């Protein structure tokens, strides 16, 4: 009887310890919105990561400060510390900023979420993935090269692909249409909700909840 009770309490303590480890593991989150710095890029499709990061900071009542490799905002929300980064390295060198802030804040790459535009998704569609290829996106490509892995979470925000053959660069660096601008606020808020859910409930539950048409 004693051995049974001893085993029960031993497993209980192990379970409790695991829960505490998981809570500590997800206590600090790095959210990276990809984009290009400068007012001329603000409302281009390629900068949707910056717009989502701005809205997240606003919702969490955090302010950005210019730091090394980017503008950074920090906020405590429901027991989680959000570190929100908008790299100042330009899109093609985003990996340098991501690696620096992961190391500086001692955040595991599984607690990283990168927000990026995606021409392979319809406008406003959100897809959250734990890993994946760069899909031709220069920001993701550089992050992959610098981190040495494709296994890090990313939120892909669909910008559509309504452009002629050979016109992708002009399209992604072009500004949103008036109709798209009308719908952007609610779509950005949905992305922000997904980011907060990621911090609170983890990746899998967030994917199940937000990876819908």
Please indicate whether residue 183 is annotated as part of the active site.
no
Q: In the chain, how many H helices and how many E strands?
A: 7, 7
CA-closest candidate to residue 62, choices 46, 80, 41, 40: 80
From the list 20, 46, 137, 183, the catalytic residue is: 46
Cα–Cα distance for residue pair 21/16, rounded to 1 Å: 9
Are 115 and 34 in contact, with CB atoms under 8 Å apart? yes
Parallel, antiparallel, or unpaired: how do β-strands 80-87 and 28-33 relate? parallel
Are 188 and 43 in contact by the 8 Å Cβ rule? The answer is no
Catalytically annotated residues: 46
């Amino acid at each position: 009887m004693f051995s049974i009770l001893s085993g029960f309490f031993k497993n209980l303590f192990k379970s409790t310890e695991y829960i505490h480890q998981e809570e500590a593991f997800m206590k600090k989150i790095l959210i990276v919105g990809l984009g290009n710095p400068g007012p001329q890029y603000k409302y281009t499709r390629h900068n949707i990561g910056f717009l989502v990061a701005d809205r997240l900071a606003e919702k969490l009542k955090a302010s950005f400060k210019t730091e090394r490799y980017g503008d950074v905002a920090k906020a405590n929300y429901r027991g989680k510390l959000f570190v929100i980064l908008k790299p100042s390295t330009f899109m093609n060198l985003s990996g340098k900023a991501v690696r620096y802030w992961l190391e500086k804040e001692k955040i595991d790459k599984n607690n990283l979420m990168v927000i990026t535009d995606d021409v392979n998704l319809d406008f406003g569609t959100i897809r959250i993935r734990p890993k994946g290829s760069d899909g031709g996106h220069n920001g993701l490509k550089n992050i992959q090269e610098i981190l040495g892995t494709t296994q890090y979470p990313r939120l892909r925000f669909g910008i559509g692909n309504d452009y002629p053959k050979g016109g992708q660069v002009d399209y992604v660096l072009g500004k949103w249409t008036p109709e798209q601008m009308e719908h952007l606020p609610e779509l950005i808020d949905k992305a922000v909700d997904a980011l907060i859910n990621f911090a609170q409930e983890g990746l899998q539950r967030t994917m199940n909840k937000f990876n819908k048409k």
